[in-house]
C-alpha cells in the first residue's frame, strides 16, 4: 500500500461508494458495510457517517473512537453484501469472508488488504451521535493500492441492488 | 411529477449522486451543485449536507431554513458544471442555464422540472452549522418524473471528472 496525501481523500469518498468500516475492541476486529457517509472538509479530511445503533460496530466506534474506512472495488461485491448481512456479534467476519486485516499505523482497527483505499480515522465530534447516530471522523492517514488500476466501485440502491461505476466524463471545472 | 412515498427517498440519495439544491430568498430563487450529502434516517427521511459558507446558497439556507434537493440525470451534466462554476450573486441561474423552476407544495424554493427527482426539505438541525457548515434536513415531500425511465446519475471525482452510472447488479439482501 502506498501513502496517499490527505488532500486526495475526498476524491474517493465524495462519489458515494459503498465502503467498509473496521473497528477493534478488546482485541477483536470487526467490519461492517456502510453507505451513509459524506465529506465534511477537504484537509484535514473530515468525514461524517451514520451507523445504526443496532450494529455491533456502533458501540465499538463510540467506545474506542477509532475506525478505518476501506473502499472496495466491485470484485468484492458478494463479500460486501455478506458482511452487511451478518453481525460481528456472531462471527469473525475477516475469517469468515476471507478478508485480510493489516495493521494500521495510527489507529488500532485494521486496514483491509483487499480494498484499494484505506483511511485511518479517529472520531472528532460526537454531538450528533445520541440524536442521529452521526459521527464526524478525521482521516489521519490514507493509503491506496497501486496494483489496483481504475477500480470500479458500487453504489447501493437498496435491497441488494447496486449500480457499478460506468464511463468517465470530463468537463471544464476548476473546482476540487 | 408524481408523488413518491417518503420511505423511497433514500434510494435516490444513498448512491451518492451529484444533486442540485435550490433556495429562495427575498423573491429570488437560486440553485447550486452539491455532492457532500448523505442519508441520516429512512423515514421521515433525514439528509445531512455540507455547504461552503462561501456559497451564496449558504446564507439563504441558513436564513430561510428551506431548500429543494433535485437529482439530475447525466444529460444535464454540462449545466450541472456551469451551475457549480457560477454564483447566484452574479446571475439568475435558472434563466442563464435554461432550467425551469416549478412551485413546490410545502416550501418556497422551487422544484427543478428537468430533474427526475425533487425533494422538498426544511432544516431541522443547525448544531453543526457553525463548526462544519453541516445542515440536517428533513424531506417533507418527494416527487419523481415518471417520464424519465432508468435515469443515470453522475458522481463527482474532482475538477470536472465525473463517473456515470454503469451496469446494475443484484445480490441477495434483505437490507433496505
A130 CB neighbours in chain B (<8 A) are: none
- What was the pLDDT predicted at A158? 96
CA distance B109 to chain A (A): 24
How do the residues of chain B divide into helix, strand and coil, expressed in percent and rounded to 5? 20, 40, 40
pTM reported for the whole predicted model: 0.98
What secondary structure does DSSP assign to A111-171, as a single string? Answer: EETTSSEEEEEEEEE-TTHHHH-EEEEEEEEEEE-TTS-SPPPEEE-STTEEEEEEEEEE-
CA distance A104 to chain B (A): 26
Residue of B nearest to A157 (CA): B11
Query: In terms of Cα–Cα distance, which of B68, B30, B64 is closest to B49?
Result: B68
Residue A10, all three cell numbers:
475526498
Residues in contact with B75: Cβ distance below 8 Å, sequence separation at least 6, in sequence order: none
- Residue % of chain B over a pLDDT of 90: 99
- What was the pLDDT predicted at A101? 98
Give the integer Cα–Cα distance in Å for B145 and B11.
15
Does residue B44 have a cis peptide bond before it, meaning omega lies within 30 degrees of 0?
Answer: yes
* List of chain A residues with pLDDT < 50: none
- What was the pLDDT predicted at A80? 97
State the average pLDDT over residues B55-80. Answer: 98
From the list A35, A131, A136, the residue facing B14 with the nearest CB is: A35
Residue of B nearest to A173 (CA): B160
Residue of A nearest to B81 (CA): A173
Indicate the helix (H) or strand (E) that contains A12: helix A10-13
Residue B72, all three cell numbers:
439530475
From the list A14, A159, A163, the residue facing B36 with the nearest CB is: A14
Q: pLDDT by residue (tens digit) across B102-120? A: 999 999 999 999 999 999 9
b/e string for A135-174 if b means 16 or more Cβ within 10 A? bbbbbbbbbbbeeeeebebbbbbbebebbbbbeeeebebe
pLDDT averaged over every residue in chain B: 97
From the list A46, A131, A155, the residue facing B15 with the nearest CB is: A155
Give B82's pLDDT tier (boundaries 50, 70, 90): very high
- What was the pLDDT predicted at A150? 93
Task: Label each residue of B60-122 as H, E or C.
Answer: HHHHHCEEEEEECCHHHHHHHHHHHCCCCCCCCHHHHHCCCEECCCCCCCCEECCCCEEEEEE
Residue of B nearest to A126 (CA): B128
- What was the pLDDT predicted at B40? 98
Give the integer Cα–Cα distance in Å for A115 and A117.
6
A159 CB neighbours in chain B (<8 A) are: 173-176
- What was the pLDDT predicted at A125? 98
What secondary structure does DSSP assign to A46-109, as a single string? Answer: EEEEE--TTSHHHHHHHHH-EEEEEE--GGGHHHHHHHHTS-TTT--HHHHHT--EE--SSSSS
Give the integer Cα–Cα distance in Å for B95 and B75.
18
State the average pLDDT over residues B146-169. Answer: 97
CA distance B27 to chain A (A): 28
Are the beta carbons of B14 and A166 separated by less than 8 Å?
no
Residue of A nearest to B76 (CA): A171
From the list B156, B163, B176, the residue facing A159 with the nearest CB is: B176
The gap from C-alpha B81 to its chain's centroid, in whole angstroms, comes to 14
Q: pLDDT by residue (tens digit) across A120-151? A: 999 999 999 999 999 999 999 999 999 999 99
A173 CB neighbours in chain B (<8 A) are: 81, 84-85, 159-160
Query: In terms of Cα–Cα distance, which of B166, B168, B149, B155 is closest to B19?
Result: B155
Residue A48, all three cell numbers:
461524517
Are the beta carbons of B36 and A35 separated by less than 8 Å?
no
Amino acid at each position: 500500500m502506498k501513502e496517499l496525501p490527505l488532500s486526495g481523500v475526498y476524491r474517493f469518498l465524495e462519489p458515494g461508494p459503498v465502503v467498509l468500516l473496521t473497528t477493534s475492541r478488546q482485541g477483536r476486529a470487526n467490519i461492517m458495510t456502510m453507505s451513509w457517509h459524506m465529506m465534511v472538509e477537504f484537509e484535514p479530511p473530515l468525514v461524517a457517517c451514520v451507523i445504526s445503533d443496532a450494529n455491533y460496530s456502533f458501540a465499538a466506534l463510540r467506545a474506542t473512537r477509532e475506525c478505518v474506512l476501506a473502499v472496495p472495488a466491485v470484485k468484492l461485491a458478494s463479500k460486501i453484501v455478506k458482511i452487511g448481512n451478518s453481525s460481528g456479534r456472531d462471527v469473525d467476519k475477516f475469517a469468515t469472508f476471507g478478508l485480510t486485516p493489516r495493521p494500521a499505523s495510527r489507529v488500532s482497527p485494521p486496514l483491509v488488504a483487499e480494498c484499494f483505499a484505506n483511511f485511518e480515522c479517529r472520531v472528532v465530534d460526537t454531538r450528533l451521535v445520541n440524536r442521529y447516530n452521526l459521527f464526524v471522523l478525521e482521516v489521519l492517514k490514507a493509503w491506496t493500492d497501486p496494483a489496483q488500476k481504475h477500480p470500479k466501485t458500487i453504489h447501493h440502491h437498496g435491497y441488494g441492488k447496486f449500480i457499478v461505476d460506468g464511463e468517465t466524463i470530463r468537463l471544464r471545472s476548476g473546482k476540487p
